[in-house]
Structure 1
Amino acid sequence: MSKQTILVVDDEKDLLDLIEYNLRKEGFEVLKAENGEQGIEVAREHKPDLILLDIMMPKMDGLQAVEEIRKDDELKGTPIIFLTARSDEKTEVEGLNKGGDDYITKPISTVKLLSRIKAVLRRFDEKEESVNRLDVHDLLIDKDRYIVQRGEEEFQLPRKEFELLFFLASRKGRVLDRQTLLNRVWGDNIYVVDRTVDVHVRKIREKLGDHYIETVKGVGYRFKE
């Protein structure tokens, strides 16, 4: 399946390294930051699929950081899990009210932590899949009718080209590798090669123009911000 990226923000270096090791074992890409300010900078640059956020940190704590993240148009939909030693109900409620999607108290076993992370990612994937119309840039991409509109122009793309465009556009700004695109658009049980993605992207560009989908050399593709 896809290599999703998780940003871990915590000022305990040993814990950061432990979480990174176990997440990588599960196939995730991992980014790290040691305080809230650094976490926001890394998130803005890399746009992770999920942020694991401590509360008690120097420079900017997790509660302040989540407020800033939720103000950012490009990050406000990113799932955030608090992982903290603060176990009081008041802080938990405050964290969830400010925009956290889950609240986990340290210490927690690696197995349980991974389970909670996967559950949140799964929930957000399901929410994204339920969207049937996208307004991105000057395009309206309508999954109910399998139509792409740009002003008065209407484009009818073949099914897989449309589904590839929709998947990329629904994750605008994220870099998606070819294997992720193959798995999510063509399915795990269908044998197709990486080149299939390249061919479909080229055909989409021929019809809509080459200014929507960006090639990220050596990785895959990204629908431009």
Structure 2
Amino acid sequence: MSDIEKIVLAEDNSTLSLLLKFRLEKEGYKLLTAEDGKKAIEQIEEHKPDLILTDIMMPFISGLEVISHVRNKLDMQIPIIVFSSAGQEEIVLKAFNLGANDFMSKPFSPNELVIRIKRLLQ
């Protein structure tokens, strides 16, 4: 694939967003950021990314609702990695049941995230 792979990042923590944008663009990905689930859905519908990274707890629309929208309304099977500081098993299981491909608990290593992204985009 000659195109640069696009990733939508839905994260309301601006510091983490900037860190991940810097790290993933250094790896050659194009990162589109959204500070809430509503903007994430707009980015996903407009740009048709290769992968989605979403926090679970966000303003307006949660990460779980983003997953549900992508899988059910848009019928897209692109990889989705979710993260949450609320390491509650129930939420994690719900994310997987909705169609998430991977889960990372915050705080996490950006290097580990890069490895997981590469694995899902192979």
TM-score (norm 1): 0.52
**Shift of residue 72 of structure 1?**
3.0
Q: Which residue of 1 aligns with 2:5?
A: 4
Q: Which residue of 2 aligns with 1:71?
A: 72
Tell me if 1:14 matches 2:19: no
Counterpart of 1:20, as a letter, is K
| Farther-moved stretch of structure 1 (44-53 vs 107-116) | 107-116
Q: Distance in 1 between matches of 2:86 and 2:97?
A: 16
Q: Distance in 2 between matches of 1:19 and 1:41?
A: 20
Q: Distance in 1 between matches of 2:107 and 2:93?
A: 19
Please show how residues 26-45 of structure 1 align to structure 2 within 5 Å: 26-45=27-46
Any idea what SS the aligned residue of 2:38 has?
Answer: helix
Q: Which residue of 2 aligns with 1:112?
A: 112
Gap runs ≥5 in structure 2:
none
Any idea what SS the aligned residue of 1:7 has?
Answer: strand
Counterpart of 2:25, as a letter, is R
Q: Distance in 2 between matches of 1:93 and 1:44?
A: 25
Q: Distance in 2 between matches of 1:5 and 1:72?
A: 20
Q: Which residue of 2 aligns with 1:86?
A: 86
- Runs (4+) of structure 1 moved beyond 2 Å? none
Identity of matched residues, %: 39
Partner deviation per Cα, 1:128-163 (whole Å, 9 max, x = no partner): xxxxxxxxxxxxxxxxxxxxxxxxxxxxxxxxxxxx
Q: Distance in 2 between matches of 1:34 and 1:121?
A: 24
Tell which has more relative contact order, 1 or 2 (C-alpha 8 A, sep 6+): 2
Q: Which has the larger radius of gyration?
A: 1
Partner deviation per Cα, 1:16-51 (whole Å, 9 max, x = no partner): 010000000000011000111110011000000000
